Chains A and B, each alone.
Chain A
Amino acid sequence: MRKIISLTTFFLILLIPISVAFAQVQTRIRVIEASNVGSSIDPSLRDVQSELKSLSNFTSYRLLKDENLSLSLNRAVDIPVHKGRSLEITLISQRKDMAECRVKIKSEGTDILNTQVRLFSGRTVLIVGPKHGEGLAIIALSARF
Chain B
Amino acid sequence: MKDSCSVVSRLLEKYFDREMTDEERSLVEAHLLDCQACQDRLRSMEELRDLVKAPVEEAVQNEDFQWIWQKIERGIRLEERHTFWETLQAWLQISPLFQRKVWIPAVAAMTIILLITIPLFFKKTPSLLDQSVIEYVESQTHNVMIYESENKKVTVIWLFEGPAEETPSS
Tell me if B23 counts as interface (CB < 8 A to partner A): no
Q: Which residues of A contact B138 (CB under 8 A)?
A: 113-115
Instruction: List the A side residues contacting B142 at CB < 8 Å.
Output: 112-113, 129-130
List residues of chain A with CB within 8 A of the CB of B117: 15, 18
Encoded as 1 (CB less than 8 Å from any A CB) or 0, chain B from 88 to 111 comes to 000000000000101101100110
Expressed in whole angstroms, the Cα–Cα distance for A24 and B154 within the complex equals 23
Chain A residue at smallest Cβ distance from B139: A113
Query: Taking A97-B128, A118-B131, A122-B128 as contacts, is the C-beta distance between A113 and B157 under 8 angstroms?
Result: yes
The 8 Å CB contact of B169, one of A4, A55, A110, is: A55
State which of B32-40, B57-65, B66-74, B160-168 sits at the interface with chain A.
Answer: B160-168
Decide if A75 is an interface residue (CB 8 Å cutoff). no
Interface secondary structure of A, over-half rule = strand
What is the count of residue pairs linking A and B with beta-carbon distances less than 8 angstroms?
136
Tell whether A127 pairs with B128 under 8 Å between CB atoms, given A54-B170, A110-B141, A136-B166.
Answer: no
The interface residues of chain B lying within 8 Å CB-to-CB of A3 are 100, 102
Q: How far is the CB of A130 from chain B (nearest CB, A)?
A: 5
Task: Give B25-54 as 1s and 0s: 1 = Cβ < 8 Å from A's Cβ atoms.
Answer: 000000000000000000000000000000
- With A123-B155, A125-B134 given, name 11 new contacts (CB 8 A): A54-B168, A98-B131, A105-B159, A115-B137, A117-B133, A120-B131, A125-B154, A128-B157, A129-B159, A129-B166, A136-B166
B-side residues, CB < 8 A to A, are 100, 102-103, 105-106, 109-110, 113, 117, 120-121, 123, 125, 128, 131-142, 144, 149, 152-161, 165-170
Closest 5 CB pairs of A and B: A116-B135, A129-B159, A115-B137, A7-B106, A51-B154
> Can you offer 15 A-B residue contacts whose CB atoms are under 8 A?
A3-B100, A7-B102, A11-B109, A11-B110, A18-B117, A50-B149, A51-B154, A96-B121, A98-B131, A111-B140, A115-B157, A122-B128, A123-B133, A123-B155, A128-B159
